[in-house]
Structure 1
């Protein structure tokens, strides 16, 4: 059985979709999944589902959700995944039971490969890890607890993308990356590192004017919308490009 959090929350068993329940149950499962192998206080689950306005029956309804999940897991051959503790519940998962930890392990393998100079293999491993994503993390579920966890997962995805792009540029594939980087920079207008990578890919492709235009664009965005100047990575990269240095890098 596999719990999928890298996209809409779902469960599969032997490749088949398993119906987990409605919105309330999915929120409880999402919070337990985000805190897998840790006890989650029942009050936290109540807050995740209802916020500051829980009904009098909130704790009972949480227990009903958990009972329903237990039946689903038992039917999928995993009857003991949820443990009951005096203060709440714990979802016991191995690393292969959750796509988010499968993703983390593949990213770690990629870093090990890169560390030994096997860059092409590392890129393939990162591409495989990123292929596990089917959409925004926990898409369709709302609430501070779920959204906070989803943002953490999304950050790991962006870091893996940036790492793959860095390795591909080391392999001389900068021209092939320009389109993807332009889309990523547009989708993440405040993420300076992605803009630096786009500037570098353009500069190495002998498109210096476009590279500097990327700097001017993000600087304008940061100054006008946030009241800050670009950080050292972007400003130093711009200066290196203006000086026409032959060796220009980003971390």
Structure 2
């Protein structure tokens, strides 16, 4: 329950949401009484943790009772996922302004907070699982943006290994494949860049029945033609594939 309160900190978590998270669609008749017992135990654990940390806070003040639910009241800065989201947003902002060096620093700081998949050691119900999916997707986006910032700074050789691993982990992700294609092309490995496109196209057609996007196809043609713009992409704007939108 603490995980759900944390991801919904500073807002009331309704009783029905807690019941759904704990028992899904088959709650016991004693669900509300059992839930109250869990809340008492959680407050007791919070009290012990606060005592050990030396913090002079009332656990009832942290986990407050409201009509229809409970609310965990905390400073967002103490929650790692909130700090990650703030740093990731700052990184996106730096990319938008063209400050790729700063973007790399900020995004690396954000990603350094991860030690594995989100809430990997927590039993999740339907509500927490939705949050886990969102967080894991946000992590992939931050990684993609870090690769973008590195590529824009001419560090294609440094990220080839990372991009190779990332495209294997995310076989349908066009942006990551596009970044790998450009990195390989800049490293003088045009044939391998073309093979990456062919592999992605085969994966998309076989599994989803679709072709690569128009933008990725334009990038493919640019590599085929040895387009000199691949060596020096615009220094401000969106992601790499956006440069091949028209």
Do Structure 1 and Structure 2 share a fold, with TM-score over 0.5?
A: yes
Structure 1 residues without counterparts, runs of 5 or longer: 1-27
Could you say which structure has the higher helix fraction? 2
Question: 2:103 and 2:15 mapped to 1: Cα distance?
Answer: 41
Is 1:172–2:154 an aligned residue pair?
Answer: yes
Q: Please, what is the CA RMSD of the aligned residues?
A: 1.7
Q: Take 2:33 and 2:221, find their aligned partners in 1: how far apart are those partners?
A: 62
Kept after mapping to 1: 8 A contact 2:64/2:71: yes
Deviation string for 1:88-134 (max 9, x for gaps)? Answer: 11222222120011112222333444455543232122111111111
Q: Which has the larger radius of gyration?
A: 2
TM-score, L = length of structure 1: 0.83
Aligned partner of residue 247 in structure 1, secondary structure = helix
Q: Determine the C-alpha separation between the residues in 2 that align with 1:30 and 1:41.
A: 15
Q: How many correspondences in the alignment?
A: 224
Name the counterpart of 1:138. 119
- Is residue 196–residue 233 contact of structure 1 (8 Å, CA) maintained in 2? no
Q: Which residue of 2 aligns with 1:224?
A: 206
Q: Is the 8 A contact 2:20 2:126 kept in 1?
A: no
Which residue in 2 is equivalent to 1:208?
190
Say which of 99, 110, 122 aligns to 1:129: 110
Q: 1:143: how far off?
A: 2.6
1:245 alignment partner in structure 2: 227
In the alignment, structure 1 residue 53 sits paired with structure 2 residue 34: no
For residues 30 and 11 of structure 2, the distance between their equivalents in structure 1, rounded to whole angstroms, comes to 25
Question: Alignment partner for residue 38 of structure 1, among 8, 11, 30?
Answer: 11
How far did residue 207 of structure 1 move?
Answer: 0.8
Q: 5+ unaligned residues in a row in structure 2: which ranges?
A: 234-239, 242-246
The question of whether the paired residues in 2 share the 8 Å contact of 1:193 and 1:233 is answered with no
Whole-Å separation in 1 of the counterparts to 2:215 and 2:40: 51
Say which SS state the counterpart of residue 71 (structure 2) adopts: strand
1:181-223 per-position Cα deviation (integer Å, ceiling 9, x unaligned): 1111111111111111111111111111111111111111111
TM-score of the two chains, using structure 2 as the length reference: 0.85
